[in-house]
Each structure stands twice: as structure tokens, then as C-alpha cells.
Amino acid sequence: MINSPKHLKYSKKMSPWAMARKKFMKNKLAMVSTCFLLFVIVISFLAPYITTTDITRVNIGETSLPPSSDHWLGTDKSGRDVYTRLLYGGRVSLMVGISVTFIVISFGSLIGSIAGYFGGVVDNLLMRFTDFVLNFPFLVFVIVLNAILFGTVSGVWVLIIVISLLSWGGTARIVRSKILAEKENEYIIAAQSIGTSSAKVIIRHLLPNVISAIIVQATLLFAGMIAVEAALSYLNFGVPQTVPSWGNMLSSANEPDVLQGKPWIWIPPALALIVTILSINFIGEGLKDALNPKSTR
């Protein structure tokens, strides 16, 4: 598919979705990124079957060992295998990213489309509430909410819920503005004139026509949320220290001797973060082009 001729021939019977898919498949960078991301997701979630070392085992005799045939990426200060932790950490980081994105996109789209479609008082109320949430100072609230919720749900989910609660506002605004523009089209009033209910107008007509913006927003969020998780965990406000995540692994690098003398402890998670976030962004870029009928790239 990647080597298809320069000029894409869209057969006349193609749905708008099929055309977008074909365009996306032609974008090499995006396809390579997709393969890489899938690879990362697969090995992270298959971590228990790939790795042999026990993740929680602390081995005082083997602290801070450089890479060897026993420990491919060495061990950290507590003697835990870095390679194993990298895979398990990816699992946590990706799960946080995917879950937060899913919650934020669903809730943000719901609020945004209702506000945009109905307008008037409904719009005013929902958007003022959105502004209210957007005004929360992120870091302070994450710390406070983390402390309040700690222990009520299992470790990682505290962070997922807290970040989601604070991040849906932007998506709601974007979806609302797209819906506002889209609902001026005559096919919306046509749908009303044939007796389509408001919920169906939004689901059948409006959302499919703004989905491209939502998908692109989702990829940006996904990349952003992985970075947020890493940043919070680095500051020790993220997932609990007992759970490995790329951010938690990085936080050991705030000791000068690790940063200077033991790069095998922090370079693997840092690289994994950078390459994963980059590839998600490339995918988002590719989707943006593919879903925009006007771009010819």
C-alpha cells in the first residue's frame, strides 16, 4: 500500500472514510509511527510473558549494575532489572494516556456538542462551568485530589481520574466551536425538518462531520497525557512509587551521580517517552491530513 502510485485513484464508490484511510496509508511517516506505537503497546502489555525477572524483587547484591547479558539494560539503585521495569512502566504510562484520552474525549465531546447544538442558556451554563474547571490550577489540584482520593481506588486509577477531571475543558471548547460552525449547514435544518430528534441530529449528523477534529485532538491529548503522567510521577505526585512507570523511573535521575555516572538507569525510559510521544504526534499529523478533504499531500 505504501508503494502505491503517486496519484491516488479514488474509486467513485469510496466512502469519505475509505478515502481518508487510503490517504493515511500513503503517509510513510505516519505508518511507521503507527507500527512503532503498536509495537510498544504490544510489548508493554505482553510484559509478563516476555520478561522473566520479578518486577518487585529488590536485590541488594545487584544494585546499579551496568548492562550485561543477565540484565540487558542494567539494574537500578535497588537492584531491579531496568529492562523489565521499562516494559511494565510502558504499560502504566500507556494505560494512563489511553484512559485519560478516552474519558476526556467522551466527556468533552458530550458537553461540547450539547452546548454547541442547543446554544442559548444551555450553552451559557455549560461553558461557564467549563471555564470554571479550566481555571483550576492544574498542579495544585492534582496534588490535593491525589491526596484526597488516595486509597479509595487502586493506585493508577487515582491519577487517571484526577487528570481527566481537570483536562476535559479544552476538548469541550474545541468540539463546541466545531459544532457551532457545522450546525449552520442546511443539512442540519433538513434533518430537523424530517423529524430527526436532537440527540440523533447530534449523533448521526454533527459528530460524524466534526470527528476529524476530535480524532486529531485525541492524538494530541494522548501524547500530552503520557508526558503529564511522566512529569507528575517525576515530581512524585503521579502514580505511587511502588508501581513502575516511565515517569517514576526517570525520577531516580534527580540524583547527580545517577544522572552523570549511571545513564542506563534513566536513558531507556527517557528514550521510550520521547519516541512514543513523537510517533503519536506523527500519527496525529497524518490523521489531520488524511481527514482533511482539501489537503492534497
Taking CB under 8 A as the rule, does residue 124 contact another protein? no
Taking CB under 8 A as the rule, does residue 2 contact another protein? no
Contacts of 225 (CB under 8 A, 6+ apart): 96, 97, 100, 101, 104, 163, 167
**For cell 510502558, what's the residue?**
90
Taking CB under 8 A as the rule, does residue 296 contact another protein? no
Q: What minimum distance in Å lies between the beta carbon of 194 and another protein?
A: 4
Residue 64 DSSP SS3 = coil
φ, ψ for residue 164 (rounded to 5)? -60, -45
Among residues 200, 203, 241, 278, which is the contact residue for another protein, using CB under 8 A?
200
The footprint of another protein on residues 78-117 (CB under 8 A) is none
Among residues 105, 127, 158, 191, which is the contact residue for another protein, using CB under 8 A?
191
Q: What minimum distance in Å lies between the beta carbon of 205 and another protein?
A: 5
- The smaller minimum CB distance to another protein, of residues 19 and 275, is found at 19
CA–CA separation, 61 and 149 (whole Å): 37
CA–CA separation, 134 and 174 (whole Å): 13
Q: What minimum distance in Å lies between the beta carbon of 294 and another protein?
A: 13
DSSP for 176-236, please give it: HHHHHHHTTSHHHHHHHHTT--HHHIIIIIIHHHHHHHHHHHHHHHHHHHHHHHHHHHHTT
Among residues 203, 204, 241, 254, which is the contact residue for another protein, using CB under 8 A?
204
- The smaller minimum CB distance to another protein, of residues 190 and 274, is found at 190
Among residues 3, 15, 152, 154, which is the contact residue for another protein, using CB under 8 A?
15
Residues in contact with another protein, shown as a per-residue x/- string from 206 to 225 under the rule CB under 8 A: --xx----------------
Q: CA 286, 40, 220: angle at the middle one, nearest 5?
A: 40
Taking CB under 8 A as the rule, does residue 57 contact another protein? no
Taking CB under 8 A as the rule, does residue 205 contact another protein? yes
Contacts of 130 (CB under 8 A, 6+ apart): 111, 115, 169, 172, 173
From 12-20, 107-115, 144-152, 226-234, span contacting another protein (CB under 8 A): 12-20
CA–CA separation, 292 and 295 (whole Å): 6
| Residues of this chain that bind another protein (CB under 8 A) | 12-17, 185-187, 189-197, 200, 204-205, 208-209
